[in-house]
Chains A and B, each alone.
Chain A
Amino acid sequence: MDPVNVNYVQEALDAFTDKEVYIHLETTNGAYASHHNERFFSAGAYFRNAKITYERAKMTGAGPYRVGLKIPYGWVYAEGITHYEIDSKGRILLAGHDFDGKLAVALQISETPFE
Chain B
Amino acid sequence: MEKERQVLVVFPHPDDEAFGVSGTIASHVNMGTPVTYACLTLGEMGRNMGNPPFANRETLPNIRKKELKEAARVLGISDLRMLGYRDKTVEFEDPNKLIAEITAMIDELNPSLVITFYPGYSVHPDHDATGAAVVSAIGKLPAAKRPKLHCVAFSNNCVDELGEADVVHDVSAVADKKFDAIKAHQSQTQLMMAGMAEGLKQQDPEVMARLNYERFWTYKY
A contacts, CB < 8 Å to B: 1, 24, 26, 28, 30-32, 35, 38, 46, 83, 85, 87, 91, 93, 95, 97, 100-104, 106, 108, 114-115
Q: Are A28 and B45 in contact (CB under 8 A)?
A: yes
Chain B interface size band reads: 20 to 34
Say whether, besides A1-B56, A24-B57, A95-B53, A101 and B48 are in contact (CB < 8 Å): yes
Specify which of B57, B58, B155, B191 lies most central, judged by the most chain A CB atoms within 10 Å of its CB.
B57
Pick from B47, B52, B126: contact of A103, CB under 8 Å:
B47
Which of chain A's residues has its CB closest to B59's CB? Answer: A87
Dominant secondary structure at the B interface: loop
Q: Are A95 and B57 in contact (CB under 8 A)?
A: yes
Q: Which of B119-158 contact A (CB under 8 A)?
A: 123-126, 155-156
Which of chain A's residues has its CB closest to B126's CB? Answer: A31
Pick from A28, A93, A100, A102: contact of B56, CB under 8 Å:
A93
B49 an interface residue at 8 Å Cβ cutoff?
A: yes
Which 10 residue pairs of A and B lie closest in terms of their CB atoms, listed nearest first?
Answer: A101-B51, A102-B47, A31-B124, A103-B47, A35-B123, A30-B47, A106-B57, A1-B53, A93-B56, A1-B56
Q: Are B53 and A101 in contact (CB under 8 A)?
A: yes
Contacts of A104 in B (CB 8 A): 47
Specify which of A1, A30, A32, A93 lies most central, judged by the most chain B CB atoms within 10 Å of its CB.
A1
Shortest beta-carbon distance, A96 to chain B, in Å?
11
Say whether, besides A100-B51, A101-B49, A102-B49, A26 and B123 are in contact (CB < 8 Å): no
Specify which of A24, A103, A114 lies most central, judged by the most chain B CB atoms within 10 Å of its CB.
A103
Pick from A38, A93, A101: contact of B191, CB under 8 Å:
A101
Q: Are B47 and A93 in contact (CB under 8 A)?
A: no
Shortest beta-carbon distance, B56 to chain A, in Å?
5
Instruction: Give Cα A101–Cα B50 distance, bound, in whole angstroms.
Output: 7
Which of chain A's residues has its CB closest to B127's CB? Answer: A31
Contacts of B51 in A (CB 8 A): 97, 100-101
Which of chain B's residues has its CB closest to A34's CB? Answer: B123
Instruction: Give Cα A35–Cα B156 distance, bound, in whole angstroms.
Output: 7
Q: Which of B76-127 contact A (CB under 8 A)?
A: 88, 123-126
Q: Are A102 and B48 in contact (CB under 8 A)?
A: yes
Which of chain A's residues has its CB closest to B57's CB? Answer: A106
Q: A28-B45, A102-B49 are in contact. List 6 more A-B contacts (CB 8 A).
A: A26-B57, A31-B124, A87-B58, A97-B51, A101-B52, A103-B48
Instruction: Give Cα A55–Cα B46 distance, bound, in whole angstroms.
Output: 32
Shortest beta-carbon distance, A61 to chain B, in Å?
20
Q: List 24 A-B contacts (CB under 8 A).
A: A1-B49, A1-B56, A26-B45, A30-B47, A31-B126, A32-B123, A32-B124, A35-B123, A46-B88, A91-B58, A93-B57, A97-B51, A97-B53, A100-B51, A101-B51, A101-B52, A102-B47, A102-B48, A103-B47, A103-B49, A104-B47, A106-B57, A114-B58, A115-B58
